[in-house]
Amino acid sequence: MVPNESRSAVAAGPSCKDGVVDEPSELHAAANEAVLREVNEAIERGLWPGEEDARATFRCECSALECAVFLSLAPRDYERIRAGPRRFVMMPGHENPAIETVVEQTPDYVVVEKRGEAGQVAAASDPRP
């Protein structure tokens, strides 16, 4: 397993003033996560057939470009998560409650679903047909 950064190294979320999300930041966060999703798609394509249950290393798909956390999960699990174009996998604590909802939680990763405009950006940028 590839070592992870400390779970306390939480990515900075979009700027927020009085509970209102700054829309450009929301779109920026969604675009950053879409880039990391494309990286993970490439990782998954590089796996050998029959390795769906073996653990593989994927990048945290949080909105912080400086995040360098690696997650260990089975390609079959990543495929299940990716069935939803608004869903992303990330390190626990890296989620941004202003633009996403945690829909699954494990000790190793969380799955979030984008809401609002961030969800629209995520769906539109999904590299899958």
pLDDT in tens, 86-112: 999 999 999 999 999 999 999 999 999
> pTM of this prediction?
0.64
pLDDT score of 20? 37
Distance between CA atoms of 24 and 98, rounded to whole angstroms?
Answer: 13
What is each CA distance from 91 to 6, 23, 46, 57, 59, in whole angstroms?
10, 24, 22, 12, 9
Tens digits of per-residue pLDDT, 50-65?
665 678 888 898 888 7
The pLDDT of residue 68 is above 60: yes
Residue 77: other Cβ atoms inside 10 A: 20
Distance between CA atoms of 106 and 101, rounded to whole angstroms?
Answer: 15
Domain segments of the chain as ranges: 18-124
- Determine contact, residues 81/111, Cβ cutoff 8 Å: yes
